[in-house]
Structure 1
Amino acid sequence: MHFFKTGALLLLVSSALLFVPAGCNPSGGPDPVTPVTNTLVSSTLIGQFTTDQLRSRFTGSNVGFQLFIRYPISVYRVTYTTTNTDGKSITASGALMIPTVNSTTGIPMLSIQHGTITSDDGAPSNYQSGSEAYTFGSVFASQGYIIAAPDYIGYGASKDLPHTYEHRNGLATASLDMLRAARQVLTDKSVNWDKRLLIAGYSEGGYATLALQKKIEEETGSEFNLVASSCGAGAYDKPAFMKQILNNTTSTDPSISRLYLWVLLTYDRIYNLNRPASYYFKEPYATRIAASGYTANLGGLSFNQVVTDSFKQAINNGTDTDFIKAAQDNDIHDWKPRTNTRLYHGDADDTVLFLNSQNAYDAMRARGATNVQLIRLSGANHATGILGYITGTYDFFSSLQ
């Protein structure tokens, strides 16, 4: 599920870049202390692009994009060290985009966690034509934002490793270490970052963004001045969502069923369950999945029709404690955020069900979080909800001026 689908969406995204002027501190918090953590391995210039070059990317139905190009940008491929889910240090990567802005007060950084991609071509650090980083990220940068865009583990420099799909700590750790590497690049290049950090993402990016926020708030002290988090349509309540998928008819779109399959296989691998496909899946799907993984043909069935009755029963009665613990370890819906947070979600979303955001909001409010809002996008599904997410994020960040 890519973050942006059409030229119209991209145009809306570009308008969202006007929301926070450089130099203000909407958080009102203290200046962050200088941390000692530096994950940077290297930064390589991909290219420097003039405003004319950036405008030339947008023609036809996307010609309106040209109106939002303000500054030239420099794009870097950043490699850095991070920790994989097995505890081993690895090299990961991401894109860092820096606008050429003369600002005495400094400019903010926006960390963008991308949605689901199934090919390395879409990794931000590859900066290929048509990717989110090449289009959406570049327009954000041209509006005066430093853009940090992690590839995640499994793409870019770590493409030979399995992607940590919907894994809380894998996504959050790679995103956090990308921010640390980006900070060092900005220092080395004397870029005037005003230390404000905003984070955003939709779908897998929404889940990754909330996981990153939780990690920053709970583990990094005053290392970052996080002022706002905008999360769209993420699968935050993993245990409840899992039971819903296993016990109810969901979309029969093969591309959606394969996403659920991908999560299940990822957890089986990361938590060393290493079960045969036949434990989870009926035939002929078990054989197909054993051979092809999450790309297997599921025959256009709802996911609950593919899994075995015994697996469903073990989840429902609590006897499969290992898989239940894996789901619980990736649950990020029940905690108390300190940062101004908005959860956007379409109530007709048949890919990532609305209950994820509703449950997160209810749990956070019950813990006393008054700075969290749930924005219900009435009648929107996973694709059409992107519109409301982008325009809502625009209003949200604008209000922090």
Structure 2
Amino acid sequence: MRTTASRKAAVAAGMALALCSATAYTAEGATDFSRSKARGELISAEALYTLTTPQDVTSQLESLGFQGDSVRYGVDAYRLVYSTVDAHGSPTTASGLLVLPHDFKGTLKPVSYGHGSELFDKDAPSTDPQGFNAAAPVTYAAAGFAGIAADYLGQGTGPGTHPWLDVPSETSATLDMLRAAREFVPRTGSFLKRDVLATGFSQGAEAALGLGRALQQGEDPRFRLAALAPVSGAYAVRDAEIPAMLSGEVSAKVSVLNVAYSYAAFDRTYDVYDKPTDVFKEPYADKVEGLTDGQHNWQELAVATPGTLDELLTAKGRDLIEHPQGNLDEALRAADNSCKGWAPQVPRRMYFTSGDDQAVNANIRYCLADFMSQGAKFPTVDVQSEAWHGSRHFGSNVAATSQIVKWFLSL
């Protein structure tokens, strides 16, 4: 459970990244969603920007703290809107970012990247396509892959609110983004290979594992899993993250933000409380749900909430996260299932940083134990990241991306 965002970076660094719009592409017969309900069907595509030269790409990546040592191409960035299902299986739409090598004609291996946790829906990759969450797919495209990043449900241009930490819906939105990309890419003169390289950071690490399991189980026979590289995931919210927040291993303020957001998000999806005052003390009970609706950023939530969990939570609210039961138990089982019940059969590496200040290292131990119970070893790589805007957690995404792109190129 983490706070990650390009918006946080923008506040800290004073960055102002412009969205460049260009040509719009519309899927024929798919503009009316009532007539377009096949999962992964492309509804529309919009060209966002082009960085013509490798030097342009390197400059953009380095401005965000990412390395450009694997850049070989300029890039073309697109926003795709596609059909998918919501957390309850009902038809909806979602958006995502597709980044391709500039002027490339040929066959591309897809890299599916899951971005880290966001609160403001426009901090998603396709609506902040030159920001922190877009840097990894840009890196992969500039190295010669197709960089594909789902915004997730309720983020980017998707309707509704985001069901945060819900691995099943993260998985379905990510898989359907792959399907939409497969439909669109031929319009650029290229094609996607079957072999999918799955990666992601923080929340996106769980999404990458969820996608990996879906592909390995054959949920789309036109794709197959080729490699897995999750980065700094909170794979065990119940057993690792919650204890770390309650014990003070995660900072008090980060714990407040994460518990506030997760309670509100879980309630929208799983109905974990009857009314906000059941779990939140006044005056925060009237604020949290409104500030976690996707229209506000982490800074706004931080200003409106207290400094400690004791100030935020009622006795019932604290007891429920210490001893999850009922619908919260169900929500946590969905959040914690990315490593459970399957054994990856492809090249795989789990990236992390020692001393992660948000996704504590205990998450790795629980995830590895789950895989071992299925007979699968999962090699780990400590990227030993430096802090990015004050956080080693964010820094692990920067450091791991540079290492993963080189590994993917070697496969």
- Cross-structure match for 1:30: none
Which stretch shifts more, 220-229 or 75-84? 220-229
Q: Write the deviation string for residues 20-60 of structure 1: whole angstroms up to 9, x where unpaired.
A: xxxxxxxxxxxxxxxx9652112233344421783595499
Instruction: Look up the match of 1:84.
Output: 86
Deviation at 1:149, TM superposition (A): 1.5
Of stretches 273-282 and 347-356 in structure 1, the one that deviates more from structure 2 is 273-282
Q: Which residue is equivalent to 1:144?
A: 144
Deviation by residue 1:232-259 (Cα, 9 ceiling, x = unmatched): 1111123213541564224345345312
Give the counterpart of 2:326 among 321, 341, 344: 321
CA contact (8 A) 1:346 1:377 kept: yes
In structure 2, what residue type is equivalent to 1:382? Answer: H
The residue matched to 1:125 in structure 2 has which SS? coil
1:306 maps to a residue whose letter is L
Aligned ranges 1:19-38 → 2 under 5 Å: 38=40
Instruction: State the match for 2:394 in structure 1.
Output: 383
Structure 2: runs of 5+ lacking an equivalent: 10-37, 294-300, 387-391
Query: Equivalent of 2:336, from 313, 331, 336?
Result: 331
Secondary structure of 2:109's aligned partner: strand
Aligned length: 365
CA distance in 2, matches of 1:200, 1:397: 10
Aligned partner of residue 126 in structure 2, secondary structure: helix
Contact 1:3-1:115 within 8 A present in 2 as well: no
Q: Contact (CA 8 Å) 1:348, 1:379: kept in 2 or not?
A: no
Q: 1:193 is matched with which residue?
A: 192
Match of 2:349 among 318, 336, 342: 342
| Residues 355 and 60 of structure 1: CA distance in aligned 2, closer, same or farther (over 3 Å) | closer
> Could you say if the C-alpha distance between residues 394 and 132 of structure 1 is closer, same or farther in structure 2, counting changes exceeding 3 Å?
same
Please provide the CA RMSD for this pair: 3.4
2-structure distance, mates of 1:64, 1:141: 14
CA distance change for structure 1 residues 74 and 263 in 2, over 3 Å: closer, same or farther? same
Corresponding residue of 2:262: 263
1:109 is matched with which residue? Answer: 110
Q: 2:72 — aligned with what?
A: 70
The two structures have a TM-score, normalised by structure 2, of 0.76
What residue number does 1:306 align with?
Answer: 312
Task: Summarize the Cα distance change of 1:61–1:114 in structure 2 as closer, same or farther, 3 Å threshold.
Answer: closer
Of 202-211 and 218-227, deviating more is 218-227
Q: How does 1:1-400 map to 2 (within 5 A)?
A: 1-2=4-5, 38-51=40-53, 54=56, 57-58=59-60, 69-100=71-102, 106-133=107-134, 135-158=135-158, 160-218=159-217, 220=219, 222-241=221-240, 243-245=242-244, 247-252=246-251, 254-289=253-288, 292-293=291-292, 295=301, 297-301=304-308, 303=309, 306-314=312-320, 316=322, 320-332=325-337, 333-335=339-341, 336-370=343-377, 372-376=378-382, 381-394=392-405, 396-398=407-409, 400=410
3-state SS of paired residue (2:92): strand
Task: Report the Cα distance in structure 2 between the residues aligned to 1:69 and 1:202, rounded to whole angstroms.
Answer: 20
Contact residue 113 and residue 136 of structure 2 kept, 8 A: no
Cα-to-partner distance string for 1:176-211 (whole Å, 9 max, x where unaligned)? 100000001123444143332112111122122122
Change (3 A) 1:249 1:283: farther
Cα–Cα, structure 1 residues 286 and 77, in superposed 2: closer, same or farther, change >3 Å?
closer
TM-score, L = length of structure 1: 0.78
1:377/1:149 Cα in 2 relative to 1: closer, same or farther (>3 Å)?
closer
Structure 1: unaligned runs, 5 residues or longer: 7-35
SS of 2:137 mapped into structure 1: helix
- Cα displacement string for residues 276-313 of structure 1 (whole angstroms, at most 9, x for unaligned residues): 22222344443443664582633222x36633333444
| Distance in 2 separating the partners of 1:194 and 1:219 | 16
Compared with structure 1, are the counterparts of its residues 365 and 292 closer, same or farther at alpha carbon in structure 2 (3 Å cutoff)?
A: same
Structure 1 residues 67 and 354, CA gap change in structure 2 (3 angstroms): closer
Q: Shift in Å at residue 341 of structure 1? A: 2.5
Shift of 1:395: 5.6
Measured after TM superposition, the shift of residue 132 of structure 1 is 3.5
